[in-house]
Amino acid sequence: MKVPIIPTFIAAATYAFAFTACDSRQEEAREDTLEQKADTLEKKAAEVRKEGESAADATEDAADRLRDQAKETTEAEKDTAKARADAAEDNADAIRKAAERKADALEEEADKNREAK
């Protein structure tokens, strides 16, 4: 009995494709884990942004209070209070930028996790 070669090769290729095209349970679990890690990193990035914004707002509020308190003082004290308030404003900007950089880094890591799938 002679076995037809071409149908045998077609069947072998079909079986090979069928078994390799499906993700294994371990592969699906790995992808799910990577997706969950990416989601967690994105949530953390959102929290970092929110906390950074809150800290910067609090610093700006403190600068505003310094300016308000300085209104009823001498010229020298006003200048000192203005300088301290300006420094607080600069600090608020630095807080925002640092929070944004940290959040961006977390989001980049999340993207890398998703790409690793």
DSSP result, 4-46: PHHHHHHHHHHHHHHHHHSPPHHHHHHHHHHHHHHHHHHHHHH
Q: In angstroms, how far is CA 30 from the centroid of its own chain?
A: 21
Q: Of 12-16, 17-21, 79-83, which one has max mean pLDDT?
A: 79-83
For helices 25-70 and 75-115, angle between their N-to-C axes, nearest 10 degrees: 170
State which amino acid sits at residue 49.
Answer: R
Instruction: Return the pLDDT at 92.
Output: 96
Q: How many CB atoms lie within 10 A of CB 93?
A: 13
Query: Is there a domain that residue 7 lies in?
Result: no
Domain count of the fold of the chain: 1
Query: Is there a domain that residue 2 lies in?
Result: no
Query: Is there a domain that residue 13 lies in?
Result: no
Percent of the chain surpassing pLDDT 70:
83
Percent of the chain surpassing pLDDT 90:
55
Mean pLDDT of 35-51: 96
Average model confidence (pLDDT) across the chain: 87
Task: With beta carbons less than 8 A apart as the criterion, state whether 110 and 38 touch.
Answer: yes
Instruction: Return the pLDDT at 28.
Output: 87
Query: Is there a domain that residue 33 lies in?
Result: yes
d(CA 69, CA 17): 76
Query: Is there a domain that residue 48 lies in?
Result: yes
Query: Is there a domain that residue 8 lies in?
Result: no
Domain assignment of residue 73, given as a range: 24-115
Q: Is the pTM of this model over 0.85?
A: no
Mean pLDDT of 64-84: 88
Instruction: Return the pLDDT at 36.
Output: 94
d(CA 67, CA 89): 11
Query: Is there a domain that residue 79 lies in?
Result: yes
Res. 3: pLDDT tops 80:
no
